[in-house]
Amino acid sequence: SQQGEEDPQALSIQEGENATMNCSYKTSINNLQWYRQNSGRGLVHLILIRSNEREKHSGRLRVTLDTSKKSSSLLITASRAADTASYFCATDAITDSWGKLQFGAGTQVVVTP
């Protein structure tokens, strides 16, 4: 079964709007990370939130984590065309070593000018 599952699978918005995507996972984790992948490129690390944190901000990104519900959300505010990409959440279980991540299937975000 998947550890991280994103919702929605695809999201289409206009520039200036906010984009919200969710991630659910199954096992106990050390931390949860969000990555972005532009078409044909590698994954770029966006933000990490530890299991004892509930909210974190980085620029236009806001991440929340609810360990009781085993879920996280990523909010991108004031979206830009350059934010068009696939976004993945990734978790590392408390039983695994750092760096051994379990990814969800991703949310494909399209931001139109």
Binding stretches for other proteins (CB under 8 A):
2, 4, 33, 35, 40-45, 48, 88, 90, 97-106
Q: How far apart are the first and last CA of the chain?
A: 37
Beta-bridge partners for 90: 33, 103
Distance, in Å, from the CA atom of 91 to the CA atom of 24, rounded to the nearest integer, reads 10
Smallest gap from Cβ 14 to other proteins, in A, equals 26
Smallest gap from Cβ 112 to other proteins, in A, equals 23
Smallest gap from Cβ 13 to other proteins, in A, equals 22
Q: Toward other proteins, which CB reaches closer, 99 or 113?
A: 99
